[in-house]
Structure 1
Amino acid sequence: MAEPALSISPEKVCFIVVKAREFDVQDVETDPDSGSNASDDAMASVLEAHGDDPTYDELVAFIDGLTEEEQVDLVALTWLGRGDGDISDWPDLRREARRARNKRTAAYLLGKPMLADHLEDGLAEFGCSCEEFEKGHL
């Protein structure tokens, strides 16, 4: 059997991994009426989730801007990485991701609490890693 190929570049997946980690590290808003300087609060507000979160917005825009094939691969990679199959199941995972595809792909993926881990694990099944990408972007 031929080695399956990805329609989405590992670099794009790694960009999503890095941004998803930024998004996941956020905590609930602790001081909604804070008017002080962030440095006065030990920078705690930087890690708070806000309704107008630019990281979330950036991820949604990036995922929405992907082609249909790239979005299908992204969902299938997530499923592969969470253990819904192995690399030999890739055609089936893609077929199911295509069947389930709708206009809410970004919301679906960003609702997954371990999205970054699942994507990295899925990429690893293809022999790819985000290690080099993260070195250049963190």
Structure 2
Amino acid sequence: MVRYPILSIPLETICFVIAKAREYDAKDEVTDPDPGSNPSDDDMRAVLEDHDDDPVALEMTSIINDLNEDAQIDLVALAWLGRGDAELGGWDALRGEAANAYNGRSAEYLLGMPLLADYLEEALAQFGLSCATVQE
């Protein structure tokens, strides 16, 4: 039987971050910074643009910032693991690097990672976990 490292962050939270990261990555560049009309007049296009007050980014930031330090470190280490920075066997060293790099700005850092959802899913697969079990 394979023994996986224990994570400080619940699978449900990781899966929520993955879902929000997918929504956030789907955003497009802002084409009209100040539309000045109501959403129905512009066919709701502003929802698909990456505005400063983007509710998805605000929600992701809030969720990540509400995590304790250990959970934030695990989330960053998972992103790095999924990105291929190390193998699962090197988890302790990778997590140690994430702990050393911790500066309280994990949400900003992770939001700047374009393939965050893919990286987190890949890392979960290495842990033998999947968000499919959460959604059942």
Deviation of 1:45 (Å): 2.0
Deviation of 1:85 (Å): 1.2
Instruction: Look up the match of 1:18.
Output: 19
Instruction: Look up the match of 1:71.
Output: 72
Please give the secondary structure, in 1, of the residue aligned with 2:8. Answer: coil
Q: Deviations over 1:24-65 (max 9, x none)?
A: 111112223324443443432220111111111111111111
**Unmatched runs of 5 consecutive residues or more in structure 1:** none
CA RMSD of the aligned region, Å?
1.8
In the superposition, relative to structure 1, how do residues 87 and 26 fare at CA in structure 2: closer, same or farther (>3 Å)? Answer: same
Would you say how many aligned residue pairs link Structure 1 and Structure 2?
A: 135
Instruction: Determine whether 1:116 maps to 2:117.
Output: yes
Partner Cα separation in structure 2 for residue 105 and residue 83 of structure 1: 19
Please give the secondary structure, in 2, of the residue aligned with 1:99. Answer: helix
Instruction: Look up the match of 2:33.
Output: 32
Deviation of 1:132 (Å): 4.4
Partner Cα separation in structure 1 for residue 56 and residue 67 of structure 2: 17
Instruction: Look up the match of 2:90.
Output: 89
Deviation of 1:75 (Å): 0.6
Deviation of 1:86 (Å): 1.3
Partner Cα separation in structure 2 for residue 125 and residue 107 of structure 1: 25
1:34-73 matches, cutoff 5 A: 34-73=35-74
Q: Deviations over 1:85-131 (max 9, x none)?
A: 11111111111111111111111111111111111111111111123
Partner Cα separation in structure 1 for residue 77 and residue 34 of structure 2: 41
Partner Cα separation in structure 2 for residue 80 and residue 89 of structure 1: 9
Q: TM-score, normalised by structure 1?
A: 0.88
**Unmatched runs of 5 consecutive residues or more in structure 2:** none
